[in-house]
Each structure stands twice: as structure tokens, then as C-alpha cells.
Amino acid sequence: MKRKVFAGHSYGALFGVHVLLTSPTMFNEYILSSASLWFDKRVMFDAERRYAALHIDLPAKVLLLTGTYETVKPNAKNRRFNKNNDMVNEMKLVERQMKSHRYPSLAIQSAVIADEDHLTVAPAALTRGLLWAFGNP
């Protein structure tokens, strides 16, 4: 069997979460960078709960990534911080939610990449994700 890796950033990563929760075996590994989990009143959190109610396993390897500036810090002088959506917290929350179901085949981990914002984290996340999925050459 050939390995299939999904890599998506922002709305692309949100789509990856959708695929993960509707057809998890479509891909072997999921690289989800800065997933827009805030979209549609956090609809993917509800989708994950519905998945858990109907399934005892989630057979996939998942890597969640965001940048340090993708959190909200209203009083920060650095304008790279997000203004409305705390993507770092939401990434950690969805990871905890998925882990809480103790799916036997789910391997999930996350990382916050230092000194990156929503735009600059994409290339770093893709590089890290591909090394995670395929290993160091």
C-alpha cells in the first residue's frame, strides 16, 4: 500500500480535519498547520464529538502546528499577534479533545513554532511536517 499524506494550512488544514473526521483512512498522515478551528463557531469540535459518539477508533497519525504569534495578546506591542482568534489554544484544545477518547490507533502530537505568525509559519510547518511523515533523509 502506498502512503498518502495530507498537508494543509489555515482553511486547508480545516478541510484536513473534516477529512480526518469523515474518512480518516483516506490519508495515513495528516499535517495540519494553523487550522482555522474557529470557523463557523468551532464546528469541527462538534464534528469530533459526533465522530467519537459513533466510533471507537480514529486510525491516523496527526501533526498539529501553529506559530507562537497565532495567539491573542491584546496588550502586546508586537502587531504579529492575532487580533481575534487564539489558534494556539484551539490547536491544544482539539488535541486534548481527541486524546480524551483514547482512540487506540490515533497518534497525535502538536508543536508551536517559535517566532512565526499565520503567514510565515506555513513553509516551516510544511518542512517539519514532511520530515515528521517521511523521516530525515
Domain boundaries, the chain: 5-134
Looking at the predicted structure, is the pLDDT value of residue 26 above 70? yes
Which helix (H) or strand (E) segment is 64 a member of?
strand 60-67
When the pLDDT of each residue in the chain is averaged and rounded to a whole number, the result is: 93
Determine the 3-state secondary structure of 104 from DSSP: coil
Predicted confidence band at 122 (pLDDT cuts at 50, 70, 90)? very high
Specify burial of residue 128 (Cβ count, 10 A radius: 0-12, 13-18, 19+).
middle
Q: Which one is the CATH code of 5-134: 3.40.50.300, 2.60.40.420, 3.30.70.270, 3.40.50.1820? A: 3.40.50.1820
Tell me 106's DSSP state: E
pLDDT value of residue 137: 64
Question: For the segment 78-117, what is each residue's pLDDT rounded down to a tens digit?
Answer: 777 667 788 899 999 999 999 999 999 999 999 999 999 8
What pLDDT, on the 0 to 100 scale, is given for residue 50? 97
**In angstroms, what CA-CA distances link 62 with 1, 4, 23, 29, 107?**
19, 12, 14, 6, 6
